[in-house]
């Protein structure tokens, strides 16, 4: 009888394991981080003494440092991180990364002129132009990439609360024509 009890216990354990496995999801979902990078051809710029280096934007799942190492190193390319966000799925088989998420209820748009209002920060008061706007889900906030043309083309990212829209310059009003000069007396 102990053999029958043991067989029943094994059968019960097998049925329990099968039931638990049936409750698990069929396909596991992976997540990865996507990056939007600005890649500059540093070597071409140095060799040909160019004032403005050639650059391109790249969407990848490779971090900026890994992208630099894989594509020739710092002596060959310069890499600037423009944006980063989380994606679900995988990039095996040369699949493209997911697109940058659009901002939610955005206060600013790409191309807007802004002033930085981040108190006690080195960039407080700087003025720049928004190049990238996106929603970063892990912190549940819109993030804006701002380019500072007057600061050696520096690029930094900010939250909405740290930006203020620049007032548009009033349209130039034509000055009234000058009054004709009276001829001097003779």
Query: Residues 43-70: pLDDT tens digits?
Result: 888 888 877 888 899 999 999 999 999 9
Q: In the predicted model, what is the mean pLDDT of residues 105-130?
A: 95
For 140-180, what is each residue's pLDDT tens digit? 999 999 999 999 889 999 999 999 999 765 555 555 554 44
Whole-prediction pTM: 0.70
Q: In the predicted model, what is the mean pLDDT of residues 14-42?
A: 78
Higher pLDDT: 108 or 10? It is 108
User: What's residue 110's pLDDT?
Assistant: 93
Say yes or no to pLDDT of 186 above 60: no
At 14, the pLDDT band (50, 70, 90 cuts) reads confident
User: What's residue 179's pLDDT?
Assistant: 47
> Where are the domains positioned within the chain?
27-99, 101-168
At 7, the pLDDT band (50, 70, 90 cuts) reads low
Higher pLDDT: 100 or 44? It is 100
Whole-number Å distance between alpha carbons of 57 and 44: 17
Say yes or no to pLDDT of 4 above 80: no
- Give how far Cα 64 sits from Cα of 39, 83, 88, Å: 9, 11, 20
Find the helix or strand (DSSP H, E) in which 131 lies: strand 127-136
Parallel/antiparallel/unpaired status of strands 127-136 and 113-116:
antiparallel
Long-range contacts for 97-100 (Cβ within 8 Å, ≥24 apart)?
97/32, 97/34, 97/59, 97/60, 97/61, 98/34, 99/59, 100/34, 100/36, 100/59, 100/132, 100/134
Has domain 101-168 been given CATH number 3.20.20.20? no
For 61-97, what is each residue's pLDDT tens digit? 999 999 999 998 898 999 999 999 999 888 888 888 9
Say yes or no to pLDDT of 22 above 80: no
Q: Is the dihedral of CA 52, 152, 150, 66 positive or negative?
A: positive
The pair of three-digit structure tokens given for residue 88, joined into one six-digit string: 């679900």
């Amino acid at each position: 009888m102990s053999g029958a009890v043991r067989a029943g216990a094994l059968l019960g354990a097998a049925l329990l394991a099968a039931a638990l496995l049936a409750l698990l999801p069929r396909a596991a979902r992976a997540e990865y981080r996507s990056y939007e990078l600005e890649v500059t051809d540093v070597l071409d710029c140095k060799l040909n003494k160019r004032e403005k280096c050639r650059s391109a934007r790249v969407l990848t799942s490779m971090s900026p440092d890994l992208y630099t190492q894989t594509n020739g190193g710092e002596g060959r390319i310069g890499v600037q991180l423009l944006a980063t966000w989380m994606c679900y799925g995988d990039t095996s088989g040369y699949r493209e990364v997911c697109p940058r998420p659009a901002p939610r209820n955005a206060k600013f748009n790409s191309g807007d002129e802004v002033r930085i209002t981040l108190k006690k920060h080195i960039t407080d008061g700087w003025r720049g132009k928004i190049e990238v706007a996106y929603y970063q889900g892990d912190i549940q906030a819109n993030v804006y990439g701002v380019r500072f043309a007057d600061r050696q083309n520096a690029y930094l990212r900010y939250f909405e609360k740290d930006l203020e829209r620049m007032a548009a310059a009033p349209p130039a009003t034509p000055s009234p024509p000058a009054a004709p000069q009276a001829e001097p007396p003779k």
